[in-house]
Structure 1
Amino acid sequence: MTANAAPQAAGVSGGAGVPRHVAIIMDGNGRWAKKRFLPRVAGHRAGVEAVRRAVKAAPRIGIEVLTLYAFSSENWKRPADEVSDLMGLLKHYLQSEIDELHENGIRLKFIGDHSRLSAELVKLLQKSAERTAGNTRMTLVLALNYGSQDELARAVRGLIADGTPAEQVTEEAIAARLDTADLPLPDLIIRTSGEQRLSNFLLWQAAYAELAFTDELWPDFNEASLQRLVDEYLRRERRYGGL
């Protein structure tokens, strides 16, 4: 087998310490609700509580960047009332949590194509990002209307629009156009609910990420869950295609 080159992007950890950047595919809200004979929106509300727990736990563990897959570009296929509930919960989360997030030194960043979101929500995202821009304790990234394939297509279109010569369309040039260009690459990507796929999430960025899957449904995820998966990560050896 031909060895792959080690990643070139800045910010990749060597694997010896706590992962700098942890990304989570928050899956299982609907199944959590179904098991309890509750409407799906109850599962999403419980999922918001799990978000609160994760955001509080991550900086205590030493994580610098926490990225949460909040709404994928494929989620528009869900029933209109569920989409409306998700958008409403997102809006409520930002309005109710922004003061505490800011006081706790959390910087907010949003990735994805926001052209399909409501003008009111986009304004709220912008205000939240601007208000917390100077915070340094941890960066919380919410992926909204995000799809990795769309992100890559947008990056390449940007290079074409700028007249970039073909020989200059390098890995570094594409990476610099991604929504996550100012962030370290994810060290650990977690998916809850027992599913074992990335579902169009951070495909480029995940090239050398460690993957962890847990059967826990997202609403049941807590600090102990996160610590256990970080501890598992710490036992791994990251070789980036080397020996």
Structure 2
Amino acid sequence: MFLRRGLVWLQSQVATAARNFLLSVLAAGPIPKHVGFVMDGNRRYARRKHQAVQQGHSEGFVALRRTLEICLRLNIRCVSAYAFSSENFKRSAVEVSALMQLAEEKLVELCNHGDLLNEYGVRLNVVGRTELLPESVQKAIRQAEHLTRHNKRSILNLCMSYTSREEMTLAMETCVRDATAQSYEDSYVVSITRYITEKEINSQLGISLGGSPPLDILVRTSGVKRLSDFMLWQCSEDTQLQFSPAYWPDFGLFDFVPVILDYQRRMMTKRLYA
């Protein structure tokens, strides 16, 4: 028994060392500043494993922590993760309730054992219509955001009760209110042209408000090739879209390495022909 445990420990140490070496090699090349993840496939993963759907979502949070650590070790400054779409409220009450309970548990766990966020100086921003979430989840969000508000090195945008259309609509509404308020001092036409611009709308997006850089890569797992109303504005310029066949709970280092290598090849090609 002692020998077996020793071998398991040794294998773990070797695997960790190999992973860290690979990440250090990758980090020597061009690295994206902002990567977004559509964490798809939790339910299909659970069905494949003959598990309850809730277990698939729980494994999905484990995968998020694993992937976040990989990104932080690569010095990726910002990670955005699609945790819960506003459209998900249409799912069964049992599943939605389980998701809300899981989100609260993980946020509380993050507050009590925030070693990963503190080690890498990660600020947590929860983006979306959080007022639609249960009060207990809102309280956990406020606590987690408060505890990480002084972290400056990295950003984690956790998108909950989010859709890109709502994000853009709210940003536009803010710009219109600003323009209307200024129209008392300026002419209406001047206010509209000054305050309702692409730059102003972009600055009012929920993800932009947290200081996130432009989106370099968007990854969607489970083999589905659509954006599902996630970061549509941010994807519209020069974002690299990547679709992985792995279900999100299975997504790991060797699924992410080809994504980074594709990005590095693209950056090197752009530099070559610049």
Shorter-chain TM-score bucket reads: 0.7 to 0.9
CA contact (8 A) 2:128 2:162 kept: yes
Shift of 1:223: 2.4
CA contact (8 A) 2:104 2:136 kept: no
Is 2:86 the counterpart of 1:59? no
Q: Which of these two proteins has the greater Rg computed from alpha carbons?
A: 2
Task: Name 2:244's counterpart in structure 1.
Answer: 214
Is 2:165 the counterpart of 1:152? no
Q: CA RMSD in A?
A: 1.8
CA contact (8 A) 1:59 1:137 kept: no
Shift of 1:45: 1.1
Higher relative contact order (CA 8 A, sep 6+): 1
Tell me the SS of whatever aligns to 1:224: helix
Distance 2:152 2:193 in 1: 37
- Number of positions where the alignment pairs a residue of Structure 1 with one of Structure 2: 226
- Counterpart pick for 2:90 among 77, 102, 118: 77
Task: Name 1:232's counterpart in structure 2.
Answer: 262
Cα shift readout 1:152-210 (whole Å, capped 9, x = no counterpart):
11111112223163323110111111112221011000000001111100111111211
Shift of 1:115: 1.5
- Counterpart pick for 2:35 among 22, 26, 30: 22
Shift of 1:126: 1.5
Pairing of 1:177-216 with structure 2 (within 5 A): 177-181=204-208, 182-207=211-236, 208-216=238-246
Percent identity between matched residues is 34
- Deviation above 6 Å: which 4+ runs of structure 1? none
Distance 2:117 2:204 in 1: 27
Distance 1:226 1:51 in 2: 12
- Counterpart pick for 1:166 among 179, 182, 192: 192
Shift of 1:22: 0.4
Structure 2 segments unaligned to the other structure (5+ residues): 1-28, 183-190
Normalized against structure 1, the TM-score is what? 0.87
Moved more, 53-62 or 97-106: 97-106
Distance 1:173 1:220 in 2: 39
Shift of 1:103: 2.8
Distance 1:118 1:38 in 2: 26
Structure 1 segments unaligned to the other structure (5+ residues): 1-15
Normalized against structure 2, the TM-score is what? 0.78
Moved more, 189-198 or 172-181: 172-181
Cα shift readout 1:91-144 (whole Å, capped 9, x = no counterpart):
111111232234322211111111211222112211211111111332111001
Higher helix content, 1 or 2: 2
